[in-house]
Amino acid sequence: ASVQNRTGVFSFARYEEKFYSSDRDIISDRNLIIWRSCKVMVHEIAHMFGLRHCIFFDCIMNGSNNLEENDRKPLFLCPVCVRKLQHAIGFQMLNRYQLLAETCSEIGGKFEEAAEWYQKVYKLLVEAYGPHYITDKKTHQTVKIKSYN
């Protein structure tokens, strides 16, 4: 990704050695390929929003030079980077964590652990800051925040 030009290129090819095979049905673990791809795309898109490599915590914005390092990175931004992203593009923190938890849960597989993490963060934010209602930016209606018990 180019931070200055806010552009990036991505390919699935490096995540599955059988990608170029004529028989795509033999691809071993599609969920793992999507998991790895999402990690790289989130990282690169965050660069396009102005975030640089993180040196503070375990974070999706840590640099990685190979597949093994990429696999060790979490699928989430650290507190420092999430605030940088919020400053750059603006979003409601509770909405973000609620939607990420729901999306990861729907995808399942490798994403389940991330879904649980997003749900925990969401619960902590609701307990710490409330309120249990937010205003939808698009519709300007008050919406009840989902509860994860």
- Report the C-alpha gap between 2 and 39 in whole angstroms: 17
Task: Identify the residue whose tokens are 């090819």.
Answer: 13
- Report the C-alpha gap between 35 and 39 in whole angstroms: 6
DSSP-derived 3-state class of residue 66: coil
DSSP-derived 3-state class of residue 7: strand
Q: Which residue(s) pair with 2 in the sheet?
A: 7
Q: Cα dist. 107→14, 34, 35, 58, 131 in Å?
A: 21, 10, 10, 23, 28
| Catalytic residue positions, numbered | 44
Reading the block at residue 16, the tokens are 């599955």
